[in-house]
Amino acid sequence: MIDNELKKKKDCMGCHACLNICPQGCISMESDSEGFWYPAVDYNKCIECSLCVKACPVINKTTVNNEPKAYACFNNNEKIRLESSSGGIFTLIAEQIIDEGGVVFGAGFDYDFELIHSYVETKEELAKFRGSKYVQSKIGDVYHQVKEFLKKGRKVLFSGTPCQTAGLKSYLGQTYDNLLCIDIVCHGVPSPKVFNKYIDYRESSVSSTTRRIAFRLKDEGWKRYSVSFIFNNDTEYLQTFRQDLYMRAFLKDVCLRPSCYACEFKSLHRQSDLTLADFWGIQNILPEMDDDKGTSLIFVNSDSGHSILDKIKDKIIYKEVDINQAVKYNSTAIKSASYNSKRDKFFADLDSMPFDQLVNKYCSDRMGVVIKRKGKSLIYRLLKKIGLLRIIKGVYKY
C-alpha cells in the first residue's frame, strides 16, 4: 500500500493525506532516523481499498491553470504587522473569516513546543498561528476535521505549506465553496528532531525550560530579523538570524525534508486561493512601501482570493506589481532549495555531537563572506549608535 507505492521514500512530503483517508485507521506516521514522518501501514487491519494511494498528491498530480495577480501590501495595524513575519496579512484574512462565522486552521506550538496544525474560532486565539515557525508542522487528523466543518456549512480557512494545501485538496477529492486556502512561499521545512535538539541546547545553556519561541522578531528590523527564546526563569536569548545556530542550519539547507529539494509545488500556478510571502527586494521595486517593518508579497490565485482581498482592502496598504518582477527577488516561489552535500554527514552526527559543534562543523561560511558580513554589521551598529540609522530609515518611511 502507500508505504511502498511511492517510487522513492524522498518523494513523500509527510502531508498526512493517506493517514486521514484510511477507513481502517491503520496508517500511522512514524519518524525516521532524521526525525521526518513517513506513513507506516498495519497490514493486519488493511483491507486493500487503495484509498490511501488515490489520496496521495504525489501519486495523483494536479495541474493548475490560472492567472495569478501579485500585490505588495501590509496591514495598517502596526502592532499586528510587527508581530507577524512579513506584512501581517494572514491575521487580517483570518479575522475576516472569523467575523463571517468561520473557523481557521494553522500551525501553532503546543505546550511542549511541538508544531501542530489545529483550528481556532476566536480572534484572540489567532496569536498562536501568527509568525513563521521554521519546522515541519504535524497535520494529524486535521483534514478530517476540515471536512466535518465544511459538511456542516461553516466557512473554513486552511493555512499551511503548499504540500499541506495539496494534501488537503487531494484528501477532500471535491471542491467546496466554503473553503478558502492560503499557502506560503515555502523555503522548505527542517526536521522536528533537529528543532528539538536545538531547544534542548538552548534550555541547558540557561538551566531553564522555555516559555516562548519567536523566529521573526523585528527589533532590528524586518530584514535583520531575530530569533528569541523567553525562558521560565525570566531570561531571554536573542540573536539575529545570521548568527543564530538553528537559522544557520535552516538557511544552509542542511536539515530540510528530502522532498523539499525537489518540491512539486514550486510554481506560480498554485492550488491555494492566496499565497503569502515576504516581499524581499521591495526596496528596489517599490521603495515607498519599505519601512523595514515588514511588507508582504501576495499572489491572488482565484476568484475566492480576489473576493477576500476586496473585503480587507480598507485595512491594508497595497499596490499591484508585476509578478515576474517580484519573483526575481524571491526565487523560492519557483525554485527548490539546493541539496547541501554536507546534509548526510550533518544527520549522521546529529545524535552524537553537541548542537553548536554540529552547526559550526557543517554550516560555517567561507572567510570572505564572514568578513564582508562583519563589515556590514559594524556599519549598521555604528549608524544606530550615532542616531543616523533612524534618520536614514525615516527617509524611506511610507
Ligand X SMILES: Cc1cc2nc3c(=O)[nH]c(=O)nc-3n(C[C@H](O)[C@H](O)[C@H](O)COP(=O)(O)OP(=O)(O)OC[C@H]3O[C@@H](n4cnc5c(N)ncnc54)[C@H](O)[C@@H]3O)c2cc1C
Inter-residue contact 229 to 113 (CB < 8 Å): no
Of the candidates 56, 157, 149, the one whose C-alpha atom is nearest the C-alpha of residue 99 is: 157
Pick one of 35, 106, 192, 258: the residue that binds ligand X (CB under 6 A): 106
Task: State which residue, 1 or 138, has the beta carbon closest to ligand X.
Answer: 138
Pick one of 165, 271, 272, 296: the residue that binds ligand X (CB under 6 A): 296
Task: State which residue, 132 or 271, has the beta carbon closest to ligand X.
Answer: 132
Pick one of 75, 161, 275, 330: the residue that binds ligand SF4 (CB under 6 A): 161
Beta bridge partners of 116: 108, 138
Pick one of 107, 180, 186, 358: the residue that binds ligand SF4 (CB under 6 A): 186
Which span sits near ligand X by CB under 6 A: 153-161, 253-261, 380-388, 389-397? 153-161
Task: State which residue, 259 or 296, has the beta carbon closest to ligand X.
Answer: 296
Judged by CB under 6 A, does residue 162 bind ligand X?
no
Pick one of 169, 193, 197, 257: the residue that binds ligand SF4 (CB under 6 A): 257
Judged by CB under 6 A, does residue 48 bind ligand SF4?
yes
Inter-residue contact 298 to 89 (CB < 8 Å): yes
Alpha-carbon span 145 to 22, nearest angstrom: 14
Of the candidates 31, 137, 92, the one whose C-alpha atom is nearest the C-alpha of residue 351 is: 31
The least distance separating ligand X from the CB of residue 46, rounded to whole angstroms, comes to 30
Total number of residues that touch ligand SF4 (CB under 6 A): 38
Of the candidates 241, 238, 231, 240, the one whose C-alpha atom is nearest the C-alpha of residue 206 is: 231
Judged by CB under 6 A, does residue 16 bind ligand X?
no
- Contact partner at residue 41 from ligand X, ligand SF4, none, CB < 5 to 8 Å by partner kind: ligand SF4
Identity of residue 341 = S
Which span sits near ligand X by CB under 6 A: 31-39, 47-55, 178-186, 381-389? 178-186
**Secondary structure (3-state) at 319:** strand
Judged by CB under 6 A, does residue 52 bind ligand SF4?
yes
Judged by CB under 6 A, does residue 265 bind ligand SF4?
yes
- Number of residues in the chain: 398
Task: State which residue, 10 or 281, has the beta carbon closest to ligand X.
Answer: 281
Judged by CB under 6 A, does residue 258 bind ligand X?
no
Judged by CB under 6 A, does residue 259 bind ligand SF4?
yes
Judged by CB under 6 A, does residue 210 bind ligand X?
no
Judged by CB under 6 A, does residue 278 bind ligand X?
yes
User: What is the maximum alpha-carbon separation in the chain?
Assistant: 72
Total number of residues that touch ligand X (CB under 6 A): 34
| CA 200-202-208 angle, 5° bins | 85
Task: State which residue, 18 or 285, has the beta carbon closest to ligand SF4.
Answer: 18
Pick one of 189, 256, 285, 316: the residue that binds ligand X (CB under 6 A): 189
Of the candidates 241, 325, 238, the one whose C-alpha atom is nearest the C-alpha of residue 279 is: 325
Pick one of 10, 26, 66, 77: the residue that binds ligand SF4 (CB under 6 A): 26
3-state secondary structure 212-275: EEEEEECCCCCCCCEEEEEECCCCEEEEECCCCHHHHHHHCCCCECHHHHHCCCCCCCCCCCEE
Inter-residue contact 55 to 19 (CB < 8 Å): no
Of the candidates 88, 281, 110, 260, the one whose C-alpha atom is nearest the C-alpha of residue 186 is: 260
Judged by CB under 6 A, does residue 142 bind ligand X?
no
Q: How many CA atoms lie within 13 A of 207 on its CB side?
A: 0
The least distance separating ligand X from the CB of residue 308, rounded to whole angstroms, comes to 13
Alpha-carbon span 372 to 137, nearest angstrom: 35
The x, y and z cell numbers of residue 15, run together, are 502531508
Provide the binding-site residues for ligand X, judged by CB under 6 A.
84-91, 106-107, 115, 129-135, 137, 159-161, 182, 184-187, 189, 276-278, 296, 330, 332
